[in-house]
Chains A and B, each alone.
Chain A
Amino acid sequence: MSNNKPLYSPPTLGSQLLRWFCKDRLLEEIEGDLLEYYQIEREAKPKWKANLLYWFHLFHFLRPFALKKIGQNSNIIIMYRSYFKFAWRGMMRHKMQTSFHLLGLVLAFTVCGLIYLHLKFETSYDSHHKDADDIYRIAWMNENPQTRTPHPMAQALVSEFPEVVKAVTFSPIYGPGLTKDVILITHDASNVTHEITDGYFADTTFFDVFTYEPIYGNPKQALQNEWAVVLSESTAKRFFGDEDPVGQRLSFNGMVDLLEVAAVVKDAPKASHFRFNFMLSYVTLKSLPFNDPWLSWDDFGHFNYVKLSPGTNPEVVESKIPNWIPKYLNWSEDNIESLKAGEIGFKLQPIQDIHLHSNIRWELEPNGSYSYLIIYGVSALFILLISIINFVNLNTARAAQRLKEVGVKKTLGAFRSQIFTQFSIEALVTTFLALILSVFVMNWLETPFNNLVNGSIAIENLWQTETVTFMVLTAIFTAIVSALYPSVYLNSFEAGSILRGLKLSKLGGSNLRNGLLGVQLVATVILISGSLTIRNQIQFLKDKDLGFDQDNLMVLTIVGQTYSQKIRTLKSELESISGIGETSMVSNVPGGQFNQHPLYMEENPQLRVDASEMFVDKDVASTLNLEIVEGRMLDDVFAADSAGTAFVLNETAVRELNVQDPVGKQLFWVNNEELVKGTVVGVVKDFHYNSLHVPIRPIIMMMNQNAYNHLIAKFDPNSLPQIIEQVEEKFTEIVPEVDFSYRFLDSQIEELYQEEARTFRLTVILSAISIFLACGGLLGVISIVIRQRVKEISIRKVLGASAKNILWLINLKHLLIAAIALLIAIPASVIFMRNWLSNFTYQAGISPLVYGVTSVGILMLIGLTISLISIKTIKANPANNLRSE
């Protein structure tokens, strides 16, 4: 090695790193060694290799023996270490208090985390589609808004509106009475048959608007071919396992090898407002020699979706439609007028809003409800608030106990900021520990929570930057707030006076604490009264007379026109079973979806009324116990009845048609432009064939031998097991190809209020948590307060106060706080719950009893808590307390 050569310089970052981390004592030598060795390597090897080696040796050197001892010469680090030590010792010394803090915070963080994930999932619907922000569904808004609009509308919009880039129209394959039809699909080659629901007809542009991941074949091209079918992955698996099914043929309802599998796509994610199992193209439908008015402008019977050019305001398109569409619609002047006036009209619903904000007729799947999500969110925030307040309150109450500690620290030279830092770190240790524990608890509660709210949250979704940031910020916020008060308060004393023996005659911060206590109680009262009101409403819905019998009725469902003969056989067979009363065949069951068409009286053709339709047999009134107010029920002894030209209306229909004495009058039923003229033969009393969320609307009942899907049978509840056994026997004998299953009408109707029931269960749990936390917090604070007032209480006793007097003294202030909290909470709760109740057409109303019960309960609970914790001190011999000094 020549001495004249300039030195090669190793990576500067490396030497810098070394200087940071290496012990000073070792630094000089090792730096020298590394440098010298680097020179040798650079002579022999390319620069990058030498650099790499330099780094390699450097990192190899950074072993524990070489590292600077953290804080070996830093005051700050030593201080921080001592803060952690103090925090830990403090936590260990007050095990009860620590565990209550942790329990409260863990509960709050867990509840918030779970509900946050749930809200996130519910608001993520349909966001997986490409350009989801620009996809809209066209809804028809009249007095009874609906999701379905005419078939040609989609493509007309694309060709005539520059803003509309793509559009698709599709429709589920519906059976009679607008039930989603079940199709028997057979793969003859392997002789596999399955009943498949959720079949759709769709435009060729379906996959231009919606994003589905193809697995086999090309779905976009597939829809251009006649008889081609696109399967969802799960459906394809049922027939073909993991094989590529493209080119295989499937039979459709017994029509052999009608369909050819052209593509398979991944199933829509769960957060999707509709999903299909198989999809045929309208091309197939149109190739048939059939001129169905269903495909015309007159039938509002299809789902239309448009994709607008990026960033287009949907209102622009919306506002153009009323002036554009009349050329296609064969409507009366009146209707066109109200369309142009905006009384009725087409609305573009953002696809991502459908799940939470759209709840109109014929949603493809039951949607979620925004108002419940708000309840969930608000409740979670309340719990968090209560828990944070507990933490803050208990910490401020404890501050007085630490007066001496602060005094000593200050004498030894601690700054104000250091006192604050110490308190903050102590609080931070607790909140972060709670945060970590709550993640474990969340993992553990994932499935129970999903069952409770019918959600599908996954805890791993928690690990997203925004969520983690939010949680960490909450933890830090809680800690800082709880540290702020004690440190400011304790800092306000001079060290000298503290050590000279300053005794806090009063526990500081009682105003703040009482205020926060009030806030806590407000939140608790709102939660409790809210859940009681929800309970009342559910009970009200359950108890409400629906206008028909729902008890002891069994529903057997056989969907599909192929079975219309068999369902009749089944009916007569069932009637022979002892224990089975009346039976009736119907197209729709109360509580389900209904199709609807317009009606008008011959005497007043101008007045058209949209009415739901229900195809029934002669026994429906006796089975469901419907009350006939005029005329008679349908009966197949009359030729007109069995021909479907005799109608029975409900009272609402009669009222809306504005007709006096309807029985015997002629009525037109407009079934897809096929005008059915018939006679009104009877009127039934209004009954709630829809859920109680909506008012009773007109309904028309008639006979149609081919449209029965359900058999409703009255049974004797005392011999139910035997009856079911016999029914199953008959059922499998008559319809062996369908799996036997039955439901009860009352439980089916109860399902309509599932969402309410779920919300109720959740709010009950959250109310219980909130009561527990609020009382626990109060207990903690009072127990500290009492300790401060032992002397005072003793002196009072010596001077002749009774235990009762003293209890009142201690209770009174908190009961006053509770009373004020009630005064604030009750109006807030009334407003909130009124708002919620407005979702229902039939409301239980807000019962004063709810608030009475809540108020008395809260006041008693507070009194009880305080009395329990203070009774020991009060009962104690005052001499003992006064003697100690």
Chain B
Amino acid sequence: MKKYQLGEFEEYVLLTVGVLHGDAYGVSIKEEIEKRLKRKVSIGALQSALRRMEEKGFIVSELGETTKARGGKRKRYFKITAFGKKALDYNMQTRMELYKEIQNVALQYKLC
């Protein structure tokens, strides 16, 4: 369904936002994804994914406190919304359904 559409990277970001509940902002999300997925994430790519999902309504954001390390700039914390959760569920579910449909034969790697 179109309204739950999530890109692969968006899905990871959305999941990470959920994982980091309460502490999800730019740098922390980036580090978390890099740690778990062992892949480099550019701030630009991350930000554009966050913006996109915010527009779709999967996440909301609010400005938080400032720390010295940020030169007096406030953080923007992201939180997953109920709609976001629904999208995640939908994605997971369709994926699992598809996975289960695969016949065993297709996964047996013998010489043909």
Contact = CB atoms under 8 A, between A and B. Distances in A.
Interface of A: 1, 3, 7, 26, 28-37, 39-40, 56-63, 65-66
A31 B52 CA distance: 19
A31 B73 contact: yes
Interface in B41-93: 42-45, 47-48, 51-52, 63, 66-71, 73-76
A1 B42 contact: no
B48 A29 contact: no
Contacts of A36: 26-27, 67, 69-70
19 contacts: A1-B69, A3-B69, A29-B73, A29-B74, A30-B26, A31-B71, A32-B26, A32-B66, A32-B73, A32-B74, A33-B26, A33-B70, A34-B43, A35-B70, A35-B73, A37-B30, A40-B27, A58-B44, A65-B52
A765 B57 CA distance: 68
Contacts of B51: 26, 65-66
Contacts of A58: 44
A60 B73 contact: no
Give the top 9 A-B pairs by smallest Cβ distance, nearest first. A60-B44, A32-B73, A33-B26, A61-B44, A32-B70, A60-B42, A57-B43, A29-B76, A35-B71
Contacts of B26: 29-30, 32-33, 36-37
A30 B69 CA distance: 13
A663 B92 CA distance: 122
A812 to B, nearest CB: 71
Contacts of A66: 44, 47-48, 51
Contact of A37 (B43, B52, B68, B76): B43
B44 A33 contact: no
Contacts of A61: 42-44, 47
Contacts of A56: 42
Interface residues of B, number: 23
Contact of B74 (A7, A28, A37): A28
Contacts of A3: 68-69
Given A65-B52, A66-B48, 6 more contacts: A29-B25, A30-B26, A31-B73, A33-B43, A35-B71, A36-B70
A29 B70 CA distance: 9
A15 to B, nearest CB: 9
B75 A32 contact: yes
B75 to A, nearest CB: 6
A34 B42 CA distance: 10
A57 B52 CA distance: 18
Contacts of A1: 69
Contacts of B44: 57-63, 66
Nearest to A63: B48
A766 B30 CA distance: 68
A7 B68 contact: yes
Q: Which of A3, A28, A39 has the most CB of B within 10 A?
A: A28
Contacts of B66: 32
Contacts of B47: 26, 30, 33, 61, 66
Contacts of A59: 44
B27 to A, nearest CB: 5
Nearest to A30: B47
A726 to B, nearest CB: 81
Contacts of A63: 44, 48
B73 A28 contact: yes
Contacts of A28: 63, 73-74
Contacts of A39: 69
A3 B42 CA distance: 25
B30 A7 contact: no
A19 B2 CA distance: 36
Nearest to A9: B71
Contacts of A30: 26, 43, 47
Nearest to A7: B71
A102 B57 CA distance: 51
A29 B27 contact: no
A28 B71 CA distance: 10
B63 A29 contact: yes
Interface in B3-48: 25-27, 30, 42-45, 47-48
A493 to B, nearest CB: 50
A66 B45 CA distance: 11
Nearest to B55: A65
A66 B27 CA distance: 17
A63 B67 CA distance: 27
A2 to B, nearest CB: 10
B48 A7 contact: no
A7 B27 CA distance: 17
A424 B107 CA distance: 71
A33 B45 CA distance: 13
B28 to A, nearest CB: 9
A702 to B, nearest CB: 92
B10 to A, nearest CB: 14
A39 B48 CA distance: 22
Nearest to A60: B44
Contacts of B74: 28-29, 32
Contacts of B43: 30, 33-34, 37, 57, 60-61
A28 B64 CA distance: 12
Nearest to A56: B42
A33 to B, nearest CB: 4
Contacts of B48: 63, 65-66
Contacts of B52: 65
A29 B68 contact: no
A36 B28 CA distance: 10
Nearest to A15: B71
Nearest to B67: A36
Nearest to B44: A60
A7 B75 contact: no
